[in-house]
Structure 1
């Protein structure tokens, strides 16, 4: 009863904070501070904190749901925040693990390795000697997310009621999808289960060249995740990779085949394979880390995705068009030939762009190229009345990441025809 009362008070305070930020934005607008609407919204989101930063990232990665100018603007909505003092994070550790920390950890580095809107990560060593990283959820995050998302859901339903013509966008449905994905990210037990399931997938496929961190269950809860620490470099660090293994191209093929196999042989796929989440370890193995964001594709949709990939492999634009209709949702009578012609034109533009793949992974320019290509692909489909599920956008973004890695590590490799790549098996 006491906890319910406290959460209610905190929720009311959060609504008040949200109203204050929105009021300040409104006052500034009336005084003449009127940047373009997407930029105004992005800056407001950053002031509102964790929920809205994650919402901004959702917008940035969801060209199937949002207009292009908003998707482009929210590329700048970074999930990097100031770290909290370790004294604050230590209290959460003690509260969650419910025992003295010196019974679990021999030492914990008070300086975080990384800090994001939901959690920060600290290096540590268990009393049994293993090097680990501890992902600790920041205080109050879950309650803030729930309060904010409930507020957004109610607001979206009111908007749909007052403006019935907007109901086709299913604002409330989008908010529900955001709520589902964000709350999953806040549950580190789910992430630990994802890690274990992917490890089991690697065992069942007899894959000894890829690995995921071991989870230490005795030091893991819904808000704390203790994992094996990997030592290595991102997949784009070619010079160091050459010191770890003699054949960077083979290493990349291993990473790609592991991911491709997960599409059909695992219940989910890793939905954020940027170079920081794909490491080449000192022993040459590929390390997959950070399973907070995963994607799932239904069997029916996967058949069309498989057809789409097959069509891409042989340059069959009509086949790509037919598969896109199967993947998406449409009430329109799509002219396959016209759609195929537009896809062909898009491919010709992509070939002429010749992006600079030597730019580092964290470059805004390179990230923009990935998203621009993705948005162009989605735009072509939508021009023909096709609305794609977000899972398709997530899936295609991972393909674009891998295409980038090919240009860095194996420029002679053609990912769609090389028989060492098992894209559909």
Structure 2
């Protein structure tokens, strides 16, 4: 057999065995290709060194073994064992520097490549828009920005499209995050947009209906009554003569939103890794919540469900009812909504002389009473009460539209919200402060100076009590919470923001309307509804049942404890290591620590034996103690490598 062929077969055999043993020893998903290549390279480079060592040990001379074959085989095995150890070291180092990644599904690879292309294209568009509006040029050394930056940001967001407009609208309600200048600028964001051509809208409607339009509608107005970045609305008449509106989603809106949300979530994650403020405010959680809400808003089935949920809450209300349009569920899909047309004039188009003063006050009082009851009693409320979403009919009733954003306030918060309203109405700063501290925890685990907080809240309540037209107490409370770094629950923040928006809408009809005063005057009525005899009786019944069940089980538990104490079998379980995963984690660490200690001991012992020059000789150049030291050192090295691999695995997890 030719020498080169024998060498190649030996190299391949060594590489295959070394790769298999390395993967088993390291217990990590190291790639076969990488391990084979490393084994072949190390083996090829180590052959001259191996031959030199065998010659120095007087085992191999002149191209042949000069000692007994068993002794030669043992020494050669030891030498190649050290070569194998070098292979494992190189594999571990390469795995640490460039971890092995599993082969991915080609379809997923192509899809991710398309997404990266879309993200890159969108990044470029956003950078061009930001540059066009001069964002980044408006700097101020004292504050970090100039007075022109909020307006520049507003223009850039309007041009960037639906996702960023929606994000701006959400951020306009986060007084705890942004300065007042930015809040005022973002509060003016609108979703108006250029409508898509009728041919494109008709094609989208027909696609959702799965049939021609004339099989469902007697007529459809080709000119949209409203157009936004996500959808546009057309008026229509059903075959039975009922007047409806069709809310159809723009065909390309969802794709753009998907790309933008991907970008926002990546930017939030990167910001949390790099900046402390992003970690303090939970940028990733905020981005994830915004993405979830916007994806739901793109699914009109969610909006239809929100509409019915709010209708149920209003039907059970004891305040003057607000009208909710009927949803035609059999004609609605995830991208199209067909609902009853609300006749009347939006509050955005009203003027102060639209109604006589008494009638105007009656209308806005009814809206406030209903909304406050929705929030504080029912816990379900329209969360986007800007002037365009309130419609005043000829009979002076009010209809709500656009239910993409509906807030849900849990009962535990509602139980505190009603007393907070009562405390504000009574100018009780002590109670109001206590309730605020129950509702809001200090941000980032800090502490709150309660005396200073009470002083600031008391100043607000005093101003509210003595002003002829009260300022918006909810906006003032948000400012105080922000100054004292209190983490406001998102649901409560949404309530405050909704009421702030509602006040602006109602003042279109009554310019000097005191919504806060009207709402606070209803606080005792709301508190009575929450504390009605029926509610108290049901709550008492539930708590009594729980207490009774606990009392029923108490004697048996006491008996079990006393019996175990008497038998000497009483045990205390540590929950920190209760799960199997926790125990395996501790076992792995203890095993690696033990292997490390033994490995270090073996390497140290092997070193001292290997350098010793005493003891019987195996060959002219190798003594038995030196040989045993090399064996012990090799075993210790392999143990250390396994411990190091375990540390790498835990780091990756």
Q: Aligning the two structures, in what range does the TM-score lie when normalised by the shorter sequence?
A: 0.7 to 0.9
- Supply the distance in 2 between the matched residues of 1:26 and 1:51 (Cα, whole angstroms): 15
The corresponding residue for 2:119 is 15
Find out whether 1:340 has 2:454 as its counterpart: yes
The structure 2 residue matched to 1:396, chosen from 472, 492, 496, is 496
- Supply the distance in 1 between the matched residues of 2:109 and 2:497 (Cα, whole angstroms): 43
Shift in Å at residue 176 of structure 1?
A: 0.7
User: Tell me, what secondary structure is at the counterpart of 1:82?
Assistant: coil
Shift in Å at residue 354 of structure 1?
A: 7.4
Shift in Å at residue 386 of structure 1?
A: 0.9
The corresponding residue for 1:363 is none
Higher normalized contact order (CA 8 Å, seq sep 6+, divided by chain length): 1
- Supply the distance in 2 between the matched residues of 1:205 and 1:351 (Cα, whole angstroms): 29
The structure 1 residue matched to 2:487, chosen from 387, 395, 401, is 387
Matches within 5 A, 1:19-38: 19-24=123-128, 34=138, 36=146, 37-38=149-150
The corresponding residue for 2:518 is 415
Find out whether 1:286 has 2:376 as its counterpart: no
Matches within 5 A, 1:262-277: 262-266=374-378, 268-277=380-389
Greater fraction helix: 2
Deviations 1:289-321 (A, max 9, x none): 211111122222222222211111212122222
Find out whether 1:130 has 2:242 as its counterpart: yes
Closer, same or farther in 2 for the Cα pair 1:345/1:223, shift >3 Å? same
Q: Is contact 1:105–1:127 with CA below 8 Å preserved after alignment?
A: yes
Shift in Å at residue 257 of structure 1?
A: 2.5
Find out whether 1:324 has 2:424 as its counterpart: no
- Supply the distance in 1 between the matched residues of 2:131 and 2:391 (Cα, whole angstroms): 47
Closer, same or farther in 2 for the Cα pair 1:417/1:152, shift >3 Å? closer
* Cα RMSD after superposing both structures: 3.6
24-33 or 300-309: bigger deviation: 24-33
- Supply the distance in 2 between the matched residues of 1:420 and 1:380 (Cα, whole angstroms): 22
Deviations 1:384-421 (A, max 9, x none): 23121332232123333555537818958841464699
The corresponding residue for 1:231 is 343
Matches within 5 A, 1:169-184: 169-184=281-296
- Supply the distance in 2 between the matched residues of 1:415 and 1:234 (Cα, whole angstroms): 22
TM-score, normalised to structure 2, is: 0.56
The structure 2 residue matched to 1:222, chosen from 309, 327, 334, is 334
The corresponding residue for 2:96 is none
55-64 or 5-14: bigger deviation: 5-14
Shift in Å at residue 265 of structure 1?
A: 5.0
User: Tell me, what secondary structure is at the counterpart of 1:292?
Assistant: coil
- Supply the distance in 2 between the matched residues of 1:340 and 1:192 (Cα, whole angstroms): 43
Q: Is contact 1:211–1:285 with CA below 8 Å preserved after alignment?
A: yes
- Supply the distance in 2 between the matched residues of 1:332 and 1:190 (Cα, whole angstroms): 38
User: Tell me, what secondary structure is at the counterpart of 2:234?
Assistant: strand
Q: Which runs of 5+ in 1 are unaligned?
A: 358-368
The structure 1 residue matched to 2:157, chosen from 26, 45, 57, is 45
Shift in Å at residue 6 of structure 1?
A: 10
- Supply the distance in 2 between the matched residues of 1:143 and 1:346 (Cα, whole angstroms): 46
User: Tell me, what secondary structure is at the counterpart of 2:432?
Assistant: helix
The corresponding residue for 2:580 is none
Q: How many residues align?
A: 408
The structure 1 residue matched to 2:178, chosen from 63, 66, 71, is 66
The corresponding residue for 1:108 is 220
User: Tell me, what secondary structure is at the counterpart of 1:287?
Assistant: strand
User: Tell me, what secondary structure is at the counterpart of 1:321?
Assistant: helix
Shift in Å at residue 222 of structure 1?
A: 0.9
User: Tell me, what secondary structure is at the counterpart of 2:169?
Assistant: helix
85-94 or 31-40: bigger deviation: 31-40
Shift in Å at residue 96 of structure 1?
A: 1.0
Closer, same or farther in 2 for the Cα pair 1:105/1:29, shift >3 Å? closer
- Supply the distance in 1 between the matched residues of 2:419 and 2:523 (Cα, whole angstroms): 19
The corresponding residue for 1:163 is 275
The corresponding residue for 2:70 is none
Q: Which runs of 5+ in 2 are unaligned?
A: 1-104, 140-145, 530-653
Closer, same or farther in 2 for the Cα pair 1:200/1:274, shift >3 Å? same
63-72 or 341-350: bigger deviation: 341-350
TM-score, normalised to structure 1, is: 0.83
Q: Is contact 1:114–1:121 with CA below 8 Å preserved after alignment?
A: yes
259-268 or 35-44: bigger deviation: 35-44
